[in-house]
Amino acid sequence: MIEIRNLHAGIEGTPILKGINLTINTGEVHAIMGPNGSGKSTLSKVIAGHPQYEVTEGEIIYDVNFKKVNIIDLAAEERAREGIFLAFQYPVEIPGVNTAVFLRAAFNEICKHQGADEMDPIDFDEYIRSKMKILEMDEKYISRAVNVDFSGGEKKRNEIMQMAVLNPRFAVLDETDSGLDIDSMRIVADGVNKLRNKNNAMLVITHYQRLLNYIVPDFVHILQDGKIVRTAGKELALAVEEKGYDWLKEGK
C-alpha cells in the first residue's frame, strides 16, 4: 500500500525526520509510539503533504491505480483524493462552514476524481447520518460549523466520522486518543475497527498503549529522534509503557 524509503524532512531548515523506512501492506494496522519531539506528528503531516514541511531526501511510494508512485510532489488535496487521510491531533475549527456542506464538498471531490456522479444534498444527508451513527454522534452536529464549539472528544469523533464518510485506503490517525476519557476512546476505537478491512491500511500514532488494546496493531514501531529504532508486535507497546523509551536508544 505505502512504502516510505529513507525519508528525511524538516521545517524551516531544521531536520526532524532523519531516514524513516516503513512499509505498510494492505489490510495492516501499524502503530507508532515515541517520546515527545521524536517526529511522530511531523511524519503524519509529511505523509499528508503539509506544504510547510520540506522533504530533503527519500521517497513515499504509494499505490495509485495499481502502480507504485512517488507522491512527494503531489499537493495535499491530490493525495487525499487518492485515498490518503489524516485524522488531526488538533482538528481545526472552521467558523461559518456547515459540517454537512463541507463534507459533501470533500466527498464530491473524490467522486469527480473517480469519474463518478456527485451526490446530491438529500442523499448525502442520509449517507452522513449513517456514518454519524457509527461514532454515536448527535445529529445536531450536521448543521453546525465544523468543530466550532465541539468538545475535545467531539472533535476527535468528528475526525473519525469524516474518515468514515471519505472511506480512505490509507489513514493516519495522529494521537486520536489523546485527551479522551475511556468512554469516548472506546467509541472512537470501535469506529476505527468498523472501518478496518482487508482493502485498507492504517497508521496509528499514539502516546499511550491503552488505545492499542482496542485498536490492535499488527506492528508497533518506536520512533526516536527522527528514526524508527525498533519494530515488533503489539507486545512492544506494553514494554515501552512499562520501561519508557531510554532502553531503546541507539547503541544500547
Partner 1 sequence: MLTMEQNISPFIDTVQKYSAELNKNNSPDWFKKVRENGLSRFTTLGIPTPKHEDWKYTNLAVLSNTPFKPAARVALSFQDQIQRICAKDEITIVFVNGILNEQLSSLDNLPKGLVLLPLNKAITEHETQIKELLSKYKPTEDTPFVAFNHALAEHGIYIQITDKTVIEKLIHIVHVTQSTEASLTTASNFIILGKSSEATVLETHVCFDQSVYLSTPLTDIVLAENAVLHYCKAQSESLKSFHVGNTRVWQERDSHFDGFALMNGGEITRNDLDIISNGEGTSSTLNGFYGTNGKQHVDNHSSMDHRLPNCTSNQLYKGILNGESHSVFNGKIFVRKIAQKTNSYQLNKNLILGVNCRVDTKPQLEIFADDVKCTHGATIGQLNEDEIFYLQTRCISKKDAVKLLAHGFVEDILNKIQNPAIIKKLTILLEPTFAALE
With CB under 8 A as the contact rule, the residue among 71, 103, 137, 195 that binds partner 1 is: 103
Q: What region, left, alpha or beta, does residue 157 occupy, with left being phi > 0 and alpha being psi -120 to 50 degrees?
A: alpha
Choices 54-62, 104-112, 231-239, 241-249; region in contact with partner 1 by CB under 8 A: 104-112
Nearer to partner 1, 161 or 222 (CB): 161
Work out whether 3 is an interface residue with partner 1 (CB under 8 A): no
Work out whether 116 is an interface residue with partner 1 (CB under 8 A): no
Work out whether 51 is an interface residue with partner 1 (CB under 8 A): yes
Residue pair 110/81 in contact by the 8 Å Cβ criterion: yes
Work out whether 95 is an interface residue with partner 1 (CB under 8 A): yes
Nearer to partner 1, 48 or 239 (CB): 48
Nearest distance in Å: CB 45, partner 1? 8
Nearer to partner 1, 117 or 235 (CB): 117
Residues 70-89 that bind partner 1 (CB under 8 A): 75-77, 79-81, 85-86, 88
Work out whether 238 is an interface residue with partner 1 (CB under 8 A): no
Grid-cell match 510547510, residue found: 52
Work out whether 104 is an interface residue with partner 1 (CB under 8 A): no
With CB under 8 A as the contact rule, the residue among 11, 61, 72, 106 that binds partner 1 is: 106
Nearer to partner 1, 99 or 209 (CB): 99
Choices 2-10, 44-52, 57-65, 189-197; region in contact with partner 1 by CB under 8 A: 44-52
Calculate ∠ Cα 41-207-149, nearest 5°: 70
With CB under 8 A as the contact rule, the residue among 5, 8, 50, 169 that binds partner 1 is: 50
Residues 143-182 that bind partner 1 (CB under 8 A): 145, 162, 166
Three-class SS of the chain: CEEEEEEEEEECCEEEEEEEEEEECCCCEEEEECCCCCCHHHHHHHHHCCCCEEEEEEEEEEEECCEEEECCCCCHHHHHHCCEEEECCCCCCEEEEEHHHHHHHHHHHHHHHCCCCCCCHHHHHHHHHHHHHHCCCCHHHHHCEECCCCCHHHHHHHHHHHHHHHCCCEEEEECCCCCCCHHHHHHHHHHHHHHCCCCCEEEEECCCCHHHHHCCCCEEEEEECCEEEEEECCHHHHHHHHHCCHHHCCCC
For partner 1, the binding residues (CB under 8 A) are 45, 48-52, 75-77, 79-81, 85-86, 88, 91-92, 94-98, 102-103, 105-107, 109-110, 113, 145, 162, 166
